[in-house]
Structure 1
Amino acid sequence: MNRLTADPMLSDPKAQTILESAWQAFSAYGFRKTSMDDIARGAGMSRPAVYLHFRNKEAIFTALVEAYYRQAREDIRAALEGEGTQADRVAYAFAAHGGATMEAMMSSAHGLELFEAGMSVAPEAIEAGEVALAGAYAEWLQKRDLPEAVGTAAEVAQVFCAALKGIKHTAPDYPTYRMRVSQLAALMVRALEGL
């Protein structure tokens, strides 16, 4: 099961099946060309049955965005509090920030359209999700002794998120994205250790 759609917040297995089907359809056809019939067919349901769970494909897409952010926040927290050196933990957290979803989006011929659809279909979910991810970094940074000149934990967390967003929007492919995320993690750890 795709971690994007394996959302513990959705306990209804039919809703999970719909989300999995939708992700496959969006990846294969793009957001605009995916129909509720495509999603229903992939889920092995009738279209009216899908409508019992989600009012339209925009609601399904928003649920996918929310699931991504919940999983990413959980994975970031686990990485930062996990085993290993500080460099390892930050590298794991930054990798978790995009996670398998980033690889899937960047590997899809419709990845750019899906990024754009997120901004137009689920802007509130994205905004809330970005705040949650920054909060996960800020919680961890609050346990460090940051000099006043560097800024607050919340401000440094915003820098982490902005840098990761910049990499996401400028990397031409997934291997380049992963390389740049690793480089950013190494730079940030060196900076934190030098404080």
Structure 2
Amino acid sequence: MTGATRPARAARPPGRPRSQEADLAILTAALDLLIEQGAAQTSIEQVARRAGVTRATVYRRFADKTALLVRTLEWANHDHDPAFTGWRDLEHMFGDWAAHLAVPRNRRLLRRLYGSVDDYPELMAAYRQVNGGRRAAVVREMLVRTRDLGLLPGDLDVDVVQELLSAAVIGLAALHPDDEDPERVKAHFLAIMKQVGYRP
């Protein structure tokens, strides 16, 4: 007998590789801490502890806290976002917005971001970049389509209305109660649109 037969390699258990599990744990911990206590009070040490990894593991991936939080926002608003398939009409769009804004955690994240704009401007820049681009283009397209259907005034400046709606989102997060139900949130957006001439 020239040698023992090598045992068959055990099949790798299903799931993500260990490094990706660490990535997910770090990003989840960073997002939770950002929402719970804000950017200024969040530290790499806290993120590592919450994620169950070492500080070195976090620093191997991110140069500093700002880089970590920027990536966290990109992940939370893009990689972690459900696939976007578009809206049927304006009311469908506002219903989708209302479902998102009716979740207190989502409103709190918006407040944390706007509260950090002076000390951590990179966070708001990252949020705007992720939420701009395709999503902003789809909102504009929806407004143009609604205008072309005759449901909005023909001379309506859709860019101004889009800015108005963005400000309305901020106002809802900052000034309305977090337990507001989706129907009331949707009605708020529709009331604004009726003031600019929306006639469904």
* TM above 0.5: yes
Offset at 1:128? 2.1
Change in 2 beyond 3 A, CA 1:97/1:157: farther
Aligned to 1:57: 65
How does 1:37-186 map onto structure 2 within 5 Å? 37-70=45-78, 77-78=84-85, 80-81=87-88, 87=91, 89-95=92-98, 98=101, 100=103, 103-104=104-105, 106=107, 112-113=111-112, 115-117=114-116, 120-121=119-120, 122-132=123-133, 133-144=135-146, 145=148, 146-152=152-158, 154-171=159-176, 173-176=177-180, 178=182, 181-186=185-190
**Greater Rg by CA:** 2
Q: Which amino acid aligns with 1:150?
A: L
Q: Once the two structures are superposed, what CA deviation does each residue of 1:14-37 show, in whole Å capped at 9, x if it has no partner?
A: 222101111233344443232211
Which structure is higher in helix share?
1
Partners of 1:164 and 1:181 within 8 A in 2: no
Alpha-carbon deviation of 1:73?
Answer: 7.9
1:19 counterpart residue number: 27
For residues 37 and 198 of structure 2, the distance between their equivalents in structure 1, rounded to whole angstroms, comes to 46
Change (3 A) 1:164 1:34: closer
- Structure 2's unaligned 5+ residue stretches are 1-18
Paired with 2:81 and 2:154, the residues of 1 have a C-alpha distance of: 26
Structure 1 residues 16 and 107, CA gap change in structure 2 (3 angstroms): same
- Structure-1 residue corresponding to 2:199: 194
Change in CA separation of 1:59 and 1:148 when aligned onto 2, cut-off 3 Å = same
Q: 1:26 to 1:118 in 2, by over 3 A?
A: same
CA distance in 2, matches of 1:72, 1:151: 33
Note the C-alpha offset of 1:46.
0.8
Q: CA separation of 1:16/1:44 partners in 2, compared to 1, >3 Å: closer, same or farther?
A: same
Match of 1:7 in 2: none
- In the alignment, the residues of structure 2 paired with residue 157 and residue 73 of structure 1 have an alpha-carbon distance, to the nearest angstrom, of 22
Aligned-pair identity in percent equals 20
Structure 1 stretches of 5 or more lacking a match? Answer: 1-10
With over 3 angstroms needed to count, the CA separation of the structure-2 counterparts of 1:129 and 1:117, relative to structure 1, is: same
TM-score by length of 2: 0.66
Once residues 184 and 112 of structure 1 are traced to their aligned partners in structure 2, the CA distance between those partners, rounded to angstroms, is 19
Q: How many Å apart are 1:185 and its aligned residue? A: 3.2
In the superposition, the TM-score normalised over structure 1's length comes to 0.67
Question: Counterparts of 2:62 and 2:69 in 1: how far apart (Å)?
Answer: 10
**Alignment CA distance shift 1:175-1:105 (3 Å):** same
